[in-house]
Homo-oligomer: A and B are copies of this chain.
Amino acid sequence: MTVEALIFDVFGTCVDWRTGVAREVATAAAAKGLQIDSIAFADAWRDLYQPRMEEIRSGRRSYVDLDVLHRENLDATLDSFGITGHFSEEDRIALNHAWEKLPPWPDVVPGLIRLKANRIIAPCSNGSIALMTRLARYGALPWDCILGAGIARAYKPDARAYLATCEALRLEPAHVMMVAAHNDDLSAARDCGLKTAFVARPLENGTGQISDLKASSHWDIVAADFLALSAHLDFRPHG
């Protein structure tokens, strides 16, 4: 198994979006003198993520980048929390940048540094190039380049997101490994011919998480974290 590039899901797999977004929401709310459940707000904001992308995946809407969808979902979430009137256009633009300030899980940066020594590493996220670039600067994620929806103009699990990523690297899908904490992401990548690695993130959705607690299929690798993934790959010749 020759893996020349590793591509990564980001939200949930590399970074703790829930903690990061809740922190930014709490700061913004406090500045307005509002008391809200910032974790519940982060969850509500994120709950709109899949349905909003589905409008694009289904063809009912042309591709727009995730920053635009996040902003629409922010407006809807402010509405549902009954606090719309407290946030000006400028406040909303600022709060939408919450998605660029998400803490990496502790193993991610040291793991990526090791993985990068022998292979190309890049995000294959639904986040835009702009978002992924700023998030990488925030968390010191040492990507070689930014791939995914931003270059494919299609949202995972649409096959084009994976295939455009491989094509941009001029690599056959069989030489590219998708790394994700979400079984459905890996399933779509495998359908495109990519190799797959599962790393569970059991706290992505908090202590009550019920989905993706473990691998649901025979992925090429199942690793406890990115350091274990690195050890796994380097143990095998040409792995």
Q: Would you call B129 and A151 a contact (CB within 8 A)?
A: yes
Query: With an 8 A cutoff between CB atoms, is A169 at the interface?
Result: yes
Q: Would you call B137 and A168 a contact (CB within 8 A)?
A: no
Interface size bracket, A side:
20 to 34
- Pick the interface stretch among A11-19, A25-33, A46-54, A142-150: A142-150
Query: What chain B residues lie within 8 Å of A122 (beta carbons)?
Result: 133
Complexed CA–CA distance, A145 and B133 (Å): 6
Q: Would you call B137 and A170 a contact (CB within 8 A)?
A: no
**What mask results when residues 104 to 145 of chain A are scored 1 for a CB within 8 Å of chain B, else 0?**
000000000000000010100000111011101100000111
Query: What chain B residues lie within 8 Å of A212 (beta carbons)?
Result: none
Query: With an 8 A cutoff between CB atoms, is A67 at the interface?
Result: yes
Query: Which residue in chain B gives the minimum CB-CB distance to A167?
Result: B130
Q: Would you call B133 and A169 a contact (CB within 8 A)?
A: yes
Give the contacting residue for A146; candidates B130, B137, B145, B170; CB below 8 A.
Answer: B145
Complexed CA–CA distance, A134 and B65 (Å): 27
Q: Would you call B151 and A132 a contact (CB within 8 A)?
A: no
A120 to chain B, nearest CB (A): 6
Query: What chain B residues lie within 8 Å of A133 (beta carbons)?
Result: 120, 122, 144-145, 169
Complexed CA–CA distance, A65 and B167 (Å): 11
Complexed CA–CA distance, A137 and B169 (Å): 13
Q: Would you call B170 and A130 a contact (CB within 8 A)?
A: yes
A132 to chain B, nearest CB (A): 7
Complexed CA–CA distance, A143 and B122 (Å): 12
* CB neighbors of B among A19-67 (8 A): 65, 67
A-B pairs with beta carbons under 8 Å apart, 25 shown? A65-B170, A67-B170, A120-B133, A120-B134, A120-B137, A122-B133, A128-B170, A129-B145, A129-B147, A129-B168, A129-B169, A130-B170, A130-B171, A132-B145, A133-B144, A133-B145, A133-B169, A136-B144, A136-B145, A137-B144, A143-B145, A145-B145, A150-B151, A150-B168, A151-B151
Residues of A bordering B, CB below 8 Å: 65, 67, 120, 122, 128-130, 132-134, 136-137, 143-147, 150-151, 168-171
